[in-house]
Amino acid sequence: MRNSARCFSSLTFLVALLPLTAPAHHSRAYFGNEIAEITGELVGVDWRNPHIGLTLSVRGEDGSAQEWLVEGNSIYNLQRRGIARARFEPGRSVTITGRVSTREDRQLLMTGIDFGDGSPVAFTGRQAPAGYVDSVVNAAAEARGIFRVWSMPAADRAAIQAQIANQPFTDEAVAARASWDLLDNFSTRCEPEGMPRIMINPHPFEFIDQGDRIILRTELYDTERTIHMSDSARPEDVPASRLGYSTGTWDDGALVVRTSRIDWPYFDRAGTPQTEAIEIIERFVLSDDQSRLDFDITVTDSATFTRPAHLSGYWLALGESILRYDCQPLEP
């Protein structure tokens, strides 16, 4: 296959790709509206979170070799689509579609890849991507209840992300986004997110029963929350933190978690602020066959929302494991 590069702009295509108005996750090379497709030889692979990095040697119009840098998805999101590290063999010819950097020459944010084997993979869009398989385990037979690893279904990802952008924000909260630095923020610096944003991410979650407390883990940033089930401490006496102070109760089989004392300053990755007055109520409801866990999140903060914000979705028991995330900050 001949190495090549071509660029095109398509507003219709772009709208289909972007469920949110926020910049791409963790990128220092801000990516605009122009879409490019390049075909070249894979000469370098940086297999790490938050984005894998690829280097391609691509023939320019004058026949000279040009080096293109490509930011991919997280390792988990690639593996969820059935793309293993072994497929990125140096010397292999691949075709990559992506959004062009507005900051650096010959740099893309990957939106699709074709290994030339008849199975191209897309990484964006509102529909469940090809290659995603949501096959639940026999959770009823395992009888573990809520205490297992849970995964966000492919079909629910775009809906969840869209909910974040469509909340009853105050005018002041929207105006505050103007000071958000697209190129230097907690995401680009690989700083762990706080509540409630950490709960709306595509990586797996796990509930661990420790008697008087429940540990809630997520692969993203190797985060662990503690839910106190029998703690008599007053929240106001607990130091504020990015994850806050959480207490839990059981209500007719549902786990209800109340969280306050949060000092994480952002509701999303677009720079929408939140204050330390924020309070969150989460409700987790297990299905009868124990294969699905529905969640509802209500967020109250009068400085950020004109009325309580609401997020909802569900996770599935897919039998996945939580791996070490080991986030590595991107170079400036």
In a shared domain, residues 217 and 282: yes
Peptide linkage before 196 cis (omega within 30 of 0): yes
1, 13, 35, 152: CA torsion to nearest 10: -90
Residue 150 makes CB contacts below 8 A (sequence gap 6+) with 204, 205, 206, 207, 293, 315, 316, 317
Q: Check residues 190 and 4 and name the one with the higher pLDDT.
A: 190
Please calculate the CA angle 323-326-330 and round it to the nearest 5 degrees: 140
In a shared domain, residues 159 and 308: yes
Contact 151, 315 (CB under 8 A): yes
Q: How far apart are CA 118 and CA 6, in angstroms?
A: 21
Work out how many domains the chain is built from and give that number: 2
In a shared domain, residues 193 and 70: no
**pLDDT over 60 at 24, yes or no:** no
Alpha helices in the chain (DSSP H): 11-17, 75-80, 139-142, 157-165, 171-176
Residues 87-96 pLDDT 10s: 999 999 999 9
Residue 153 makes CB contacts below 8 A (sequence gap 6+) with 128, 134, 314, 315, 316
Provide the pairing of β-strand 121-122 with 205-209.
unpaired
Question: Closest Cα partner for 170 from 30, 277, 20?
Answer: 277
The radius of gyration computed from the CA coordinates of the chain, to the nearest angstrom, equals: 21
Q: Decide if 327 is inside a domain.
A: no
Residues 279-331 pLDDT 10s: 999 999 999 999 999 999 999 999 999 999 999 999 999 999 999 999 987 66
In a shared domain, residues 109 and 40: yes
In a shared domain, residues 106 and 190: no
In a shared domain, residues 237 and 281: yes
Q: How far apart are CA 330 and CA 29, in angstroms?
A: 10
Buried b (16+ CB within 10 A) or exposed e, 30-40: bbeebbbbbbb
Distance from the Cα of residue 143 to its chain's centroid? 29
Across residues 176-193, what is the average pLDDT? 87
Phi, psi of 266 (to 5 degrees): -125, 140
In a shared domain, residues 45 and 180: no
Across residues 271-275, what is the average pLDDT? 96
Residue for token digits 């529909």?
Answer: 127
In a shared domain, residues 98 and 183: no
Residues 71-86 pLDDT 10s: 998 999 999 888 999 9
Q: Decide if 146 is inside a domain.
A: yes
Q: How far apart are CA 41 and CA 13, in angstroms?
A: 26
Phi, psi of 175 (to 5 degrees): -65, -30
**Taking all residues of the chain, what is their mean pLDDT, rounded to a whole number?**
88
Extended beta strands in the chain, E state: 4-9, 31-46, 53-59, 65-71, 93-101, 107-114, 121-122, 149-150, 205-209, 213-218, 223-228, 245-251, 254-260, 279-286, 292-300, 309-316
Share of the chain above pLDDT 70, in %: 87
In a shared domain, residues 28 and 144: no
In a shared domain, residues 176 and 118: no
pLDDT on residue 19: 32
Please calculate the CA angle 21-27-32 and round it to the nearest 5 degrees: 50
Q: Decide if 38 is inside a domain.
A: yes
Q: Which domain holds residue 105?
A: 4-122
Q: Decide if 183 is inside a domain.
A: yes
Residue for token digits 């420790």?
Answer: 210
Q: Decide if 180 is inside a domain.
A: yes
Q: Which two tokens stand for residue 120?
A: 């191209």
Sequence-distant contacts of 53-60: CB under 8 A, at least 24 apart: 54/88, 54/96, 54/110, 56/94, 56/96, 57/3, 58/3, 58/4, 58/5, 58/106, 59/2, 59/3, 59/4, 59/5, 60/5
User: Which residue, of 89, 122, 155, is where some domain finishes?
Assistant: 122
CATH number of domain containing 46: 2.40.50.140
Q: Decide if 70 is inside a domain.
A: yes
Q: Decide if 181 is inside a domain.
A: yes
**pLDDT over 70 at 132, yes or no:** no
Q: Decide if 71 is inside a domain.
A: yes
Sequence letter at residue 59: R
CATH number of domain containing 211: 2.40.128.20
Residues 318-329 pLDDT 10s: 999 999 999 987
**pLDDT over 50 at 23, yes or no:** no
**pLDDT over 60 at 173, yes or no:** yes
In a shared domain, residues 204 and 289: yes
In a shared domain, residues 103 and 175: no
Across residues 242-250, what is the average pLDDT? 97
pLDDT on residue 16: 31
pLDDT on residue 3: 62
